[in-house]
Structure 1
Amino acid sequence: MQLSTKRYTSINYISGPLLFVEGARDLAYGAIVEIHVQDGSVRGGQVIEVSERNAVIQVFEETRGMDLAKTSLSLREDVARIGVSREMIGRRFNGLGDPIDGLPPIIPEKRLPILGAPINPVAREKPAEFIQTGISTIDVMNTLVRGQKLPIFSGAGLPANEIAAQIARQAKVLGEAEQFSVVFGAMGITQREAAFFIHEFESTGALARSVVFMNLADDPTIERLMTPRAALTVAEYLAYELDMQVLVILTDMTNYCTHPSVEIVLADGTVARIGDLVDSVVARGNEALTSLPSILS
């Protein structure tokens, strides 16, 4: 039980979504903090750089209205984590794992780091089992196999979202006794696209077997970087701890790769590598994690 919490009050500079804290060398890179604003509200943030002089915090929400003299922050978690549970199936969340479907928060069975679980390459099995997508050109010409990563490249004006939604509602593993679920992650989508996905999942019944993460274009920039990691962490939990067959669909990866927030992180000395997101895509034993990222080129 935590009896006291250290507060940092030496905030000396705010620049856009970045908050600079002097003398906070004991904060660790990647730690999640709570920012206490003078109006009583609490905002979230993540440590993206620690030096001898300053710690740099990227704020999840806007920094407008923050008073340097009256704003403080405290450590919430040593690394970005997400609460996971079987009850997440059938629910919708934002990129940070907070419910956005109007239902109560889940009671997590575990809180796992969104950096993902390390996979021993020796544990990987040769992909062999077929996943039926219901789209003949994929099933016949470029078959999706359990434990495989299969990108979908699209161009402007082509129905990439419609294909992603169609696969989410039609995909299934034939002749298998294991439970099958879909983890769907959307990054940088518009309100119109979000409404389309919500309608597709709810009207077709696909939501009953899916965990949906949605990051809108006007959501905090750092949330866009955390959305696919949160989705893959939940998928790892369902596959490797609950022995389910999991298909991960990520759209649109272009918004993750080219968003200006990646340039902010790079400017602060941190490189966000897209390859880090696919290390967990693997078939192992009776369970498998399969990835289907959508890329607008």
Structure 2
Amino acid sequence: MKRLDAPIARTYSGAASAAGPLLFVRSTRRAKLGEWVRIGGEGQEERRGQVVDVGTEITVIQVFEDTLGLKPADAAITLAGETATTVVGKDLLGRALSGTGEPLDGLPPSIGEARLPIWGAPINPVRRQHPSDFIETGVSAIDGMNTLVRGQKLPVFSAPGLPGVELAADIVENARPARGEPFAVVFAAIGITERETQIFVSRFRESEVMERTVLFLNQASDPTIERLLTPRVALTTAEHLAYTHGIHVLVVMADITHYAEALREIAAAREEIPGRRGFPGYMYTDLASLFERAGVLKGGKGSVTQLPVVSLPDDDMTHPIPDLTGYITE
């Protein structure tokens, strides 16, 4: 028997126009924000995309792959009826994955325990337990002077030329709970280079921490939209480990500046009215939707702790990215 709630795919012939990685499609019925899209072209491989804006007349689609050679008027555009989801489960521990969860370690894709939507909601403040337990990072300046507490969100502000991402990797290797409880680390690298990707994968494989670590590695050469998906995929994985399996999970995200710049790039392509320094006016809300997913639930056994790394553009602490990050996480 066919499920009544099964996703319904709809195919449209041709786009009204294109601008860089964006396609503008008219008269799309029941399009959903974040819906997966398949784009076909004559004699070309199928491309992936996602709905990034839904209007009464125009739907905007962000294409993941290069659009070189794609003729908008001749494209076959299929809205899959499904929003962004990711496979979650304990079998992801020890894996190196792309920013959208595709294997980078040569192993087959994970079957997982469930497939969950990545657009999770912040924790209800009424259900939060007051953070009180210590997580050791192995960095004396943090452990001794700015202690990381379980369920907390503690940003690390770095400047150009300083080893912010390397510090994040050190914390991934050395972090541990105070009393030996079940512990895991989810590392989301956002907008890193190919060289950094190889360094991280080889470094963690050679250490003993890989078996309790999940790596999500988004490279600078990957589509811009993937930089917005990577931290959400990582947080969804962490939440499943924490609240289903009772594991205390530390989520290290580096670099949030790359995430915010991707947000600005897509907003500019959509011709949105810019806010401070060209960033969209909703950036505060968007960053809060990430940071507020940290916490400890009352009566629960697991927890999600966040350690986002933020590079200061031009060493400016008043820049919108560190400024808003500080407001949200203080």
**TM-score tier (shorter):** over 0.9
Q: Structure 1 residues 266, 9: closer, same or farther in 2, change over 3 A?
A: closer
Q: Structure 1 residues 266, 275: closer, same or farther in 2, change over 3 A?
A: farther
Matched residue type, 2:291: V
Aligned pairs (5 A) from 1:195-234: 195-234=198-237
- Following superposition, the deviation at residue 59 of structure 1 comes to 0.6
Aligned residue for 1:175? 179
Q: Does the 8 Å contact 1:10/1:23 carry over to 2? A: no
- Following superposition, the deviation at residue 283 of structure 1 comes to 1.1
Aligned residue for 1:90? 94
Q: Secondary structure at the match of 2:72?
A: coil
Output the CA distance in 1 between the equivalents of 2:28 and 2:65: 21
Q: Structure 1 residues 167, 3: closer, same or farther in 2, change over 3 A?
A: closer
Corresponding position: 1:294 with 2:309:
yes
Corresponding position: 1:162 with 2:166:
yes
Corresponding position: 1:250 with 2:253:
yes
Output the CA distance in 1 between the equivalents of 2:120 and 2:8: 30
TM-score (norm 2): 0.84
Higher mean Cα deviation, 247-256 or 159-168? 159-168
Output the CA distance in 1 between the equivalents of 2:46 and 2:212: 34
Matched residue type, 1:197: F
Q: Structure 1 residues 138, 87: closer, same or farther in 2, change over 3 A?
A: same
Matched residue type, 1:292: L
Aligned residue for 2:327? none
Aligned residue for 2:326? none
Unaligned runs of 5+ in 1: none
- Following superposition, the deviation at residue 264 of structure 1 comes to 3.2
Q: Does the 8 Å contact 1:222/1:261 carry over to 2? A: no
Unaligned runs of 5+ in 2: 274-279, 313-330
Count of residue pairs brought into register by the alignment: 296
Output the CA distance in 2 between the equivalents of 1:265 and 1:290: 33
- Following superposition, the deviation at residue 296 of structure 1 comes to 0.9
1:245-296 CA-partner distances (Å, limit 9, x unpaired): 1000000111111234343376358845211101210012321100001111
Identify which of 274, 286, 291 aligns with 2:287.
274
TM-score (norm 1): 0.93
Q: Structure 1 residues 147, 5: closer, same or farther in 2, change over 3 A?
A: closer
Report percent identity of matched pairs. 43
Q: Structure 1 residues 3, 209: closer, same or farther in 2, change over 3 A?
A: closer
Matched residue type, 1:253: I
Q: Secondary structure at the match of 1:258?
A: helix
Output the CA distance in 2 between the equivalents of 1:3 and 1:230: 21
Q: Structure 1 residues 130, 195: closer, same or farther in 2, change over 3 A?
A: same
Q: Does the 8 Å contact 1:25/1:50 carry over to 2? A: no
- Following superposition, the deviation at residue 118 of structure 1 comes to 4.4
Q: Does the 8 Å contact 1:134/1:170 carry over to 2? A: yes
Matched residue type, 2:49: G
Identify which of 33, 53, 57 aligns with 1:53.
57
Q: Structure 1 residues 170, 77: closer, same or farther in 2, change over 3 A?
A: farther
Output the CA distance in 1 between the equivalents of 2:7 and 2:164: 51
Matched residue type, 2:101: G
1:36-90 CA-partner distances (Å, limit 9, x unpaired): 2222522211111222322110111111111334321222243211121211111
Q: Structure 1 residues 40, 5: closer, same or farther in 2, change over 3 A?
A: farther
